[in-house]
Structure 1
Amino acid sequence: MFHSKAFTGFISLAIALSALAQDVSQPGLIWDDLETSTELKWTECYTQPLQCARFQVPLNYSDPEGTTASIAVIRFPSPLAGTEEYKGPILLNPGGPGASGVEMVEGSGEMFSQLLGPNFDIVSFDPRGIGFSTPRGSVFPTEAQRQLYLERDMLRIVEAHGEEKIRYWGFSYGTVLGATFAALFPDRIERLVLDGVVDAENYFATLYSNNLLDTDKALQSFFDSCFEGGPDLCPFYESSPQAIARKLDELTQSIFLRPVPVVTSLSYGLVDYSRLRNTIFLSLYSPYTDFPRLAQGLADLARGNGTTLYQFLETPAFDCACGTQAPLQPVLDGRNVIGCTDGKEVSDTFEESESYLRDLLLQSQWAELWATLRISCLGWPKQEKKHFQGPFVGNTSHPILWIGNTADPVTPVASAHKMAKGFPGSIVLTQDSPGHSSMSAPSTCTAGHVREYFLNGTLPAEGVVCPVDGPIFSAQKASTLEARQVEGEDQILQVLERLRQTFRVASPF
């Protein structure tokens, strides 16, 4: 039978993702003031040297003179623009669906520029229906009630830069966009890095049935790294990884029976089964950032103090500013708008949904959360599905670089190998780490290959496996690196450490 905790878990997970995805107090005022144009009319925004533009594209490319959409575009401009060393834009997509590329570059554009080199503009955008782009993918008419066209948009943005071919680094759901672009426009690929690869065929079938192949392996990395860190670095330490796993099971059972109340200066609530499970699951995305904090939260919770664990997903109480005109804000409705519209219609009966969950549980203990991705599309309005859904094949004008982690919780490296088979000359680079996409762990090896690929088109050799730089539980922090005079690999490692603090790849739903 379905457990109610699975569905309450989904609600809590949605709240959690809202907390991770948004920090939107005033930026909407910027976008409200910008004119939408068929050209990229850049205006200084946020902090220098960032530039923003609202780019007009057809709402429906089969009716180019009809209704239009306004795409929010942002860039961290190359300091070498206008010189022979300038190479053009690299488009980034942070995943989702539903994640804001504007917020990605606003927070991390400078670091991506340092990582990839000053030769490129670092450009991203909010896909139609998402973030600051309009029309918004909004299901609800008001904020109080609320609490794919993309590949051709990408091509238009590239062409507006005066380029014929695309340079693109897509994460998670962004790999679906990249693979679709490569299949539709194989002769328009200058560089294409697809990182944390989603099986696009499985995604468009609305199955989500092979995402969890390595999820339990990612959780095992918490037990292993905590044990390796020892009691001084991992507060949840026990005498073996198996003992740490047992301790977590016992704590989970205890919280299921007796949730822990929490009051903070911002909000109040319970650390219950759903919140605990959601927190652990989301920490698997960014182990180097979240595992040390998770260990402290679990240790505190075992002593009856749930504050640290609770604050992982804490959001301010909703405040309805009734009667006032709010600036343009991102909304989270676009996640389902895109996911359920992209995918095959879901019309499962209760028994079929139950069977789907049981099958997924054979793959991973986290099926109770993941199954909701398909189930949430039940009852979605019937639509004629005319958008491209495969086949994902093509002889691209430059080979694609695919990247997968050995223990990615939601996009297993097996998906990268499957997708690469459709594109001759493709190379799969494996990063030996847990976490979602290569950005979740510091690897100067991976970063070096990505930089060389964008700069010179050089692909790593077939079968290369990149190690990570240092353990998860380490006394060395990013601030220590920043205090030193660094150069070469140390400088790249510093940038990777800073990126982990400012950029989190969005979940693929």
Structure 2
Amino acid sequence: MSFVRNAFLVAAVVSAANALPNPKRSESSDLQWGPCPARMNFTSAYSYDCATLTVPLDYSNSTDGRTLDLQLLRVNATNQPSKGAILMNPGGPGGVGTQFVAGTTAEVQTILDGNTIPYACNDTSSSGSKKTKRQEFDIPEPTFPEDYDLLELDIDDMSMAQLVGVLQNELSDLQVVAETCAADNEEYGEYIGTAFVARDMLRIVDALGQGSLLNYWGISYGTVLGGTFAAMFPNRTGFMLLESNVNLHEYMSGAGIQARATLDANVDALFEQCMVYPEECALADDHQTVESLAQNYENLVAALDQQGIPMNDTDDEIDGGTVRNYMLSNLYNPSEWPEVAVALKVLYDGEWETFYNMSRPPKEGSYNKGTEALLGIRCGDSRLRSDNVTDLEGLIEIQLNVSRWFPLQPTLEGMTCVAWQQEAKERYNGDFQVKTQTPILVLNNAYDNITPLISARNTSSGFAESVLLVQNSYGHVPEYTPSLCTAQAIRNYFGNGTMPSNGTVCEQEVPNFLPQNWTEIYQDLNKTGSSDLTKRAYSKREVDLLHAVRSLGEKLHQFDRL
């Protein structure tokens, strides 16, 4: 079996200039760095080495002698002396972070102003004779029953009693999954919660010997981990960037209401921006308006809800759920919206086979347990449990009003954990209302499709003296739509502790519908310092910063799931 308590940590060691203040900093470390295991042979622009840190398996039981050996990976600095560690969690959770760590060295180095960045990532662990990993979970393949996707349901004409009946059947299937997962992970399943990973981070900071404060950059689920650490250890919190924020209270309660608060805004913006840049949007023509584009989409999905289109030589069909799933998956990154417009145009033209091939998920070489690992983590952290959907009717009624375009999505996401049988050994049960040693920088897109701005405001209101920075963008994570203003704010925060004014709004540099890809734009900027798509000219230093942000966004898009 596989099992991980894995924080996907990047320990970024930055050069001495503009050093991050960190009390009691020394150059001594308990870690012995050396060659990495052969299995960690992947491409990096920098050399890397590894160390092992032994931590308790169960922090809640001092008499339990079992341990985890966290495998730390460090990408070696070219600028010395270094100035201390920045741990990074790029989201997920679950999966393998070492390749992400090594593959983003150049980007993070550039964003943090040329200060070279060794990374450390706890990836592989062992406990006694068991090979184990923190925050990976053994999930049977496939996890969900094939009919779990209920996005094709037309709920307009369904009563609540009818919907509850359908959802009860799905809950019964989820109970089978939960029973199997509990049996397969009986020995370790309760040790993968976020609170234990926060304690792992504290051990890593102490072992690095570079000061008593955690400096941290957390994205998406990484804001849950960072926020939990800050709430549990406010006096050990150094510079902390929480980006694309999950509502910490809802994550722990399992309510699942706020996450999709601005999901519809992304669909609406796709149609609006299509008409702003009609020459780049396959849906636009002289006879269309924003309203007609939205109506065309609504009519198509409604028709497919009533009658799906069978696909030749398969048991599949294209129905309303197929289209909704495709849209959900492709709203994350606005630079992909032109491709979404092409796919919808294909649908409107009745080219069903073409759309079917476009909407199929990419094939993976092997079953990705990391993709499913978030179940064990999120569900173990969540307090929402029930074996009867009737108990959840009040919550479901609220969830059904979150999204016009995807009315069932919040409910389906919220139901995932209600049948779960294992509880995290430790949960943070506080109110996330603390004053940290160092003020936190909270960053969010204005219209994020899964971590909305309202969640970032919630987080910022709880951490005293924190500052909220808003990027006026759509999609998930600001890096997908680079903003020089945002990138410079991050650089200044980690470089010298300078915070932007609370509530500062940054604009993205180029529109979402592009006549050329970002690489071509970067090449133009590199040659002349300007582009027809941008509002201004840029210095070479600024061009490189924007390119690093965009490149980091592309790699986050491949890695992130929450």
CA distance change for structure 1 residues 219 and 100 in 2, over 3 Å: closer, same or farther?
farther
Cα pair 1:401 1:428 within 8 Å, conserved: yes
Q: Deviations over 1:104-147 (max 9, x none)?
A: 32443322222223325253636799xx9626643446x68899
Q: Distance in 2 between matches of 1:254 and 1:449?
A: 47
Does residue 79 in structure 1 map to residue 78 in structure 2?
yes
Question: Which of 58, 61, 64 is the matching residue for 1:60?
Answer: 58
- Secondary structure at the residue paired with 2:510? coil
Match of 1:296 in 2: 342
CA distance change for structure 1 residues 66 and 263 in 2, over 3 Å: closer, same or farther?
farther
- Secondary structure at the residue paired with 1:96? coil
Question: Which of 78, 94, 112 is the matching residue for 1:116?
Answer: 112
Q: Could you say which structure has the larger radius of gyration? A: 2
- Secondary structure at the residue paired with 1:88? coil
Cα pair 1:99 1:506 within 8 Å, conserved: no
Counting only pairs closer than 5 Å after superposition, residues 256-335 of structure 1 correspond to structure 2 as 256-260=305-309, 269-288=316-335, 290-306=336-352, 307-308=354-355, 310-316=357-363, 330-335=369-374
The amino acid that maps onto 2:228 is T
Most deviating of 348-357 and 239-248: 348-357
Cα shift at 1:250? 2.0
Match of 1:457 in 2: 497
Cα pair 1:117 1:451 within 8 Å, conserved: yes
Q: Distance in 2 between matches of 1:394 and 1:127?
A: 30
Match of 1:178 in 2: 226
Cα shift at 1:319? 7.0
Question: Which of 358, 375, 378 is the matching residue for 2:397?
Answer: 358
Match of 1:375 in 2: 415
Match of 1:243 in 2: 292
CA distance change for structure 1 residues 429 and 63 in 2, over 3 Å: closer, same or farther?
same
Most deviating of 70-79 and 311-320: 311-320
Cα pair 1:72 1:102 within 8 Å, conserved: no
- Secondary structure at the residue paired with 2:420? coil
Does residue 480 in structure 1 map to residue 523 in structure 2?
no
Most deviating of 54-63 and 392-401: 54-63
Cα shift at 1:449? 0.2
The amino acid that maps onto 2:87 is L
The amino acid that maps onto 1:115 is I
Cα pair 2:307 2:319 within 8 Å, conserved: yes
Cα pair 1:140 1:146 within 8 Å, conserved: no
The amino acid that maps onto 2:229 is F
Cα shift at 1:348? 5.5
Cα pair 2:380 2:423 within 8 Å, conserved: yes
Match of 2:275 in 1: 227
Match of 2:190 in 1: none
Match of 1:498 in 2: 551
TM-score, normalisation: structure 2? 0.73
Cα pair 1:96 1:173 within 8 Å, conserved: yes
Most deviating of 37-46 and 428-437: 37-46
Cα pair 1:95 1:507 within 8 Å, conserved: yes
Does residue 253 in structure 1 map to residue 293 in structure 2?
no
The amino acid that maps onto 1:241 is V
Q: Distance in 1 between matches of 2:356 and 2:241?
A: 35
Match of 2:464 in 1: 424
Counting only pairs closer than 5 Å after superposition, residues 136-151 of structure 1 correspond to structure 2 as 137-140=136-139, 148=193, 149-151=196-198
Cα shift at 1:454? 0.6
Counting only pairs closer than 5 Å after superposition, residues 186-205 of structure 1 correspond to structure 2 as 186-205=234-253
Match of 1:161 in 2: 208
The amino acid that maps onto 2:271 is F
Cα pair 2:143 2:372 within 8 Å, conserved: no
Cα pair 1:45 1:51 within 8 Å, conserved: no
Cα pair 2:95 2:369 within 8 Å, conserved: no
Cα pair 2:381 2:423 within 8 Å, conserved: no
Q: Distance in 1 between matches of 2:207 and 2:35?
A: 12
Does residue 412 in structure 1 map to residue 409 in structure 2?
no
Q: Distance in 1 between matches of 2:61 and 2:478?
A: 39
CA distance change for structure 1 residues 430 and 330 in 2, over 3 Å: closer, same or farther?
same
Superposed CA RMSD in Å reads 3.1
CA distance change for structure 1 residues 124 and 254 in 2, over 3 Å: closer, same or farther?
farther
Q: Distance in 2 between matches of 1:50 and 1:315?
A: 31
CA distance change for structure 1 residues 376 and 382 in 2, over 3 Å: closer, same or farther?
same
Q: Distance in 1 between matches of 2:356 and 2:321?
A: 12
Match of 1:27 in 2: none
Identical positions, percent: 28
